[in-house]
């Protein structure tokens, strides 16, 4: 008999406002969920497991298996799982974390598990580890809890603090510097290699990134963004020193700075080709939009601080 079931769960993409890479080394990160979502739809079928995805299908398969194991459950009959996404892939926008979280969430609904976001997040983190090797857990946490998060890795656990933003934020624009050829795992490994070879120098960069993140978070907490452009520029310089920004992204960012704006990559980055999306800030957002149009760069208008994982049917 076919199980009477039809579930739809979604999770958002993200940007890292400050703290990518240094967060892997226990420094804080400031993140925001963005209004681009990934959807996992589950339907009971007679038999077999069919997964339909644009995303890397093996990750979807793995996420499915891992959740089933974590919950110690068996499927009655079969399942058709369809994944559709609005989150650009390999752009530092957390598409794989959104997949992990939404898959876990959808299976929680299917197995009628209590909607425990901490547990969903922990299982999603195990899935992320397969994809990225040594992730901090910040990507799955923002996809799970949404909003704005202050995140810090503490060994195998996380310190997560939601930031209450009940005021109008400055307008940010995301520009696409292109798909990163490297995976997040490869970029994290690259930094780790640098850390092993140039310990003191890399340690200094990571410490400075930690301080920039604290100051940036303070702008958001106090609703005072006077220092934000300076902090974004400093942040970008440190990421360049760390060696995670490609030439193409670097050039775009220098041009934005010349126009009086500030910009930084906002994810793992990439050096062989694109470095993913660039977070841009200018007192007049129109300057960035005009620049993007003139340079024929794709830009994403985004809303920050949206809801985390959610059941689309409830």
- Cβ proximity to ligand MEV, 67 vs 136, nearer residue: 136
**181 close to 187: Cβ distance less than 8 angstroms:** no
Contacts for 145 with CB less than 8 Å, ≥ 6 apart: 117, 121, 160, 162, 308
Tell me the C-alpha distance between 76 and 79, whole Å. Answer: 9
Question: The tokens of 94 are what?
Answer: 């957390």
- Cβ proximity to ligand MEV, 6 vs 134, nearer residue: 134
Q: CB burial class (10 A; 0-12, 13-18, 19+) of residue 78?
A: middle
**237 close to 147: Cβ distance less than 8 angstroms:** no
Least distance to ligand MEV, CB of residue 158, Å:
11
- Cβ proximity to ligand MEV, 184 vs 275, nearer residue: 184
**58 close to 103: Cβ distance less than 8 angstroms:** no
- Cβ proximity to ligand MEV, 24 vs 127, nearer residue: 24
Least distance to ligand MEV, CB of residue 187, Å:
6
- Cβ proximity to ligand MEV, 261 vs 270, nearer residue: 270
Residue 308: count other Cβ atoms within 10 Å of its Cβ: 24
Residues, the chain: 314
Q: Which residue has the tokens 């298996």?
A: 65
Q: What is the DSSP letter of 313?
A: T
Least distance to ligand MEV, CB of residue 311, Å:
25
**103 close to 41: Cβ distance less than 8 angstroms:** no
* Residues near ligand MEV, by CB under 6 A: 16, 20-21, 23-24, 92, 132, 135-136, 138-139, 184, 187-188, 267-268
- Cβ proximity to ligand MEV, 138 vs 253, nearer residue: 138
Q: What is the DSSP letter of 146?
A: B
- Cβ proximity to ligand MEV, 110 vs 125, nearer residue: 125
- Cβ proximity to ligand MEV, 6 vs 157, nearer residue: 157
Alpha helices in 111-246 (DSSP H): 117-132, 138-145, 184-197, 199-222, 228-242
Least distance to ligand MEV, CB of residue 44, Å:
34
Least distance to ligand MEV, CB of residue 132, Å:
6
Q: CB burial class (10 A; 0-12, 13-18, 19+) of residue 119?
A: middle
Least distance to ligand MEV, CB of residue 267, Å:
4
**262 close to 278: Cβ distance less than 8 angstroms:** no
């Amino acid at each position: 008999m076919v199980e009477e079931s039809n579930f739809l769960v979604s999770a958002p993409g993200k940007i890292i406002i400050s703290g990518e890479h240094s967060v892997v080394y226990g420094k804080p990160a400031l993140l925001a969920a963005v209004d681009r979502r990934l959807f996992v739809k589950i339907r009971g079928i007679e038999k077999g497991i069919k997964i339909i995805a644009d995303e890397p299908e093996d990750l979807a398969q793995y996420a499915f298996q891992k959740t089933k194991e974590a919950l110690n459950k068996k499927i009655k009959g079969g399942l058709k799982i369809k994944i559709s996404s609005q989150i650009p892939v390999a752009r530092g926008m957390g598409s794989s974390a959104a997949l992990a979280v939404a898959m876990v969430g959808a299976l929680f609904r299917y197995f009628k598990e209590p909607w425990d976001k901490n547990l969903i997040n922990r299982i999603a983190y195990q899935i992320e580890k397969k994809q990225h090797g040594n992730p901090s857990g910040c990507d799955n946490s923002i996809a799970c809890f949404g909003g704005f998060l202050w995140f810090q890795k503490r060994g195998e656990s996380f310190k997560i603090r939601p930031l209450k933003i009940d005021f109008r934020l400055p307008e940010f624009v995301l520009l696409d510097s292109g798909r990163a050829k490297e995976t997040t795992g490869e970029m994290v490994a690259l930094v780790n290699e640098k850390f092993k070879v140039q310990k003191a120098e890399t340690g200094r960069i990571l410490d400075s990134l930690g301080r920039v993140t604290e100051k940036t978070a303070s702008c958001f907490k106090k609703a005072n963004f006077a220092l934000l452009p300076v902090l974004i520029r400093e942040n970008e310089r440190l990421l360049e020193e760390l060696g995670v920004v490609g030439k193409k992204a670097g050039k775009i960012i220098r041009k934005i700075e010349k126009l009086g704006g500030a910009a930084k990559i906002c994810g793992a980055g990439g050096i062989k080709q694109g470095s993913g999306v660039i977070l841009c800030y200018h007192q007049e957002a129109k300057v960035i939009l005009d620049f993007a149009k003139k340079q024929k760069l794709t830009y994403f208008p985004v809303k920050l601080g949206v809801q985390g994982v959610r059941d689309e049917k409830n």
